[in-house]
Amino acid sequence: QKEVEQNSGPLSVPEGAIASLNCTYSDRGSQSFFWYRQYSGKSPELIMSIYSNGDKEDGRFTAQLNKASQYVSLLIRDSQPSDSATYLCAVWWEYGNKLVFGAGTILRVKS
Minimum distance, C-beta of residue 58 to other proteins, in the bound complex (Å)? 14
The residue among 84, 82, 62, 66 whose CA lies nearest residue 74 is 62
Q: Which is nearer to other proteins, 97 or 111 (CB)?
A: 97
Minimum distance, C-beta of residue 43 to other proteins, in the bound complex (Å)? 4
Segment near other proteins (CB under 8 A); pick from 14-22, 39-47, 61-69, 74-82: 39-47
Amino acid, single-letter form, for residue 9: G
Q: Which of 5, 45, 57, 58 binds other proteins (CB under 8 A)?
A: 45
Binding site for other proteins (CB under 8 A): 1, 32, 34, 36, 42-46, 49, 88, 90, 92, 94, 97-99, 101-104
